[in-house]
Structure formats: C-alpha cells, structure tokens
Amino acid sequence: MPKPTFFRLAETKRKRLIKAAYDEFSRASFQDASISNIIKEAGIPRGSFYQYFEDKSDIFFYLLDRTRSSTEELYMQAMTRHDGDLFGMMADFFDTSVEKLLKGPHREFYENVFLFMDFHNAAHFSSMPKKAPDPHPKKVFLDYTLEHIDRSKLRVKSDEDVAMLFRQVMWIFMQSIGYYYTRRRNGENVTTTALKARMAKMLNWLQYGVVISEEEVHD
C-alpha cells in the first residue's frame, strides 16, 4: 500500500500518478509493465516514485484495492436495495459490476487482471509479499452476506451452507467475466447484453433448478 508521503501529494499529482499506473497496467501484463513508463507519464523522477511506493507490485496492489473498495460498495448497496434477498441482490450486483468492469474507464486494466491473473505475479515479485492484499475480496463479501442475508427465503440456513451457496453464486460471476474476456481476446463479438443474459440464465438455474417437475412433463 502507498507510503504516507503519497497521501500528502497534491490531489492533481496523486491523480496523475494513479492514471499513469492504470494506463501502464492496461497496456501490458504485470510482468511486462514498467515503472519507467509510469514515471514518464506521471512526470515524476524515479526517486520520487519510491517515496510513494515500495515497488511495482505495491502500486499494482493499490489499484486492485481501489477495485475491491468500489465493488464492496456496489455489493452492499445491492443487498440493501433487495432487503437481503440473495438472488435478487446478486442479479443486481452482476449487472452493475459488469457495467463497471467491462464498460468503465479502467476496463483494459480489469481485462489484464482477469486474463493474466497478474495478482499472482505481483505477489511473487513483491518486496513485501506478506502485506499484499487478497485480490479476491470474497471473505468481506461472505461475512457481509452471512450477516445481512434473509435466510427465510432459502432452504439453506446454517452459515456453512450459506457460504457454500455464496461460493457457487460468485463462481458464476467470475467464470462469466473470464468467459467474456477470453472470447473477446479470441476475436469473438460477445456483447455485454449477451453476457448479462448468460449470467442471469445460470443464476436462474441455481435458484430454481434445471429438472422439470412431473406435472410439467405431462403438460
């Protein structure tokens, strides 16, 4: 995470450095990204960079942490809007997150993170690996879910079972985003509308099942 000197920077300089980092990690994978390119675009000396961050992985994880904070907020807002209804909330969260990840200003950065799993490389090359944050904020989401979910609408009641269900739902989200980026990288035209429909279908299957009842068979 940034050193205290980073937060004492003038806002315009801080934003310029953040933008330069986003641009570089959007252009290249973590391994190929260059501090030289970041400081050149930000207009700062190399020595100044190390007054703000320990190394390349430090600023990379800071960008990931900004993503974690914003997605946590989206998740909690969706939970509030749907009064703890897990599936209603998740459908809402999927839609808003897709807009942010795939159409927002940092979409190329998110694409590189998903395609190259750069947080693994960043953790490996970090000069202080123990302080690197978890790039998957699942525990925060899970803890919030366990506390705020309306279990009266579910057949699963225990924390263990709710956690298992939560992981299945989040797998749909992560797998779908990976599907989108992989297909796009291979030259296929996958629209966000089609992706949302695909996610909604899988969420519906999980919520209602895929086996038809005896009554439906004979209709």
DSSP 19-62: HHHHHHHHHS-TTT--HHHHHHHHT--HHHHHHH-SSHHHHHHH
Q: Quick one: DSSP state of residue 213?
A: P
Work out the pLDDT band at 117, boundaries 50, 70, 90. Answer: low
Instruction: State how far the Cα of 158 lies from the Cα of 149, in Å rounded to an integer.
Output: 12
CB burial string 159-194: b at 16+ within 10 A, e below = eeebbebbeebbebbeebbeebbeeeeeeeebeeee
Pull the structure tokens for residue 35: 């501090």
> What is the model's pLDDT at position 115?
81
Work out the pLDDT band at 131, boundaries 50, 70, 90. Answer: very low
Is residue 171 over pLDDT 60? yes
User: Helices 107-116 & 159-185, crossing angle to 10 degrees?
Assistant: 110
| Rounded mean pLDDT, 100-107 | 89
Is residue 124 over pLDDT 60? no
> What is the model's pLDDT at position 1?
82
Q: Containing H/E element for 149?
A: none
Asked if residue 168 lies in contact with residue 198, where contact means CB atoms within 8 angstroms, the answer is: no
Residue spans of the domains in the chain: they are 64-211
Specify the higher pLDDT residue, 127 or 145: 145
Q: Quick one: DSSP state of residue 158?
A: S
Asked if residue 19 lies in contact with residue 99, where contact means CB atoms within 8 angstroms, the answer is: no
pTM beyond 0.85: no
pLDDT tens per residue across span 56-89: 999 999 998 888 888 899 999 999 999 999 999 9
Number of helical (H) and strand (E) elements in the chain, helices listed first: 12, 0
| Rounded mean pLDDT, 8-26 | 96
Work out the pLDDT band at 135, boundaries 50, 70, 90. Answer: very low
State residue 123 phi and psi, 5-degree precision.
Answer: -65, -35
Instruction: State how far the Cα of 20 lies from the Cα of 214, in Å rounded to an integer.
Output: 60
Pull the structure tokens for residue 97: 């997150």
> What is the model's pLDDT at position 120?
56
Residue found under tokens 């960043």: 122
Instruction: State how far the Cα of 86 lies from the Cα of 155, in Å rounded to an integer.
Output: 12
Is residue 127 over pLDDT 60? no
Is residue 207 over pLDDT 50? yes
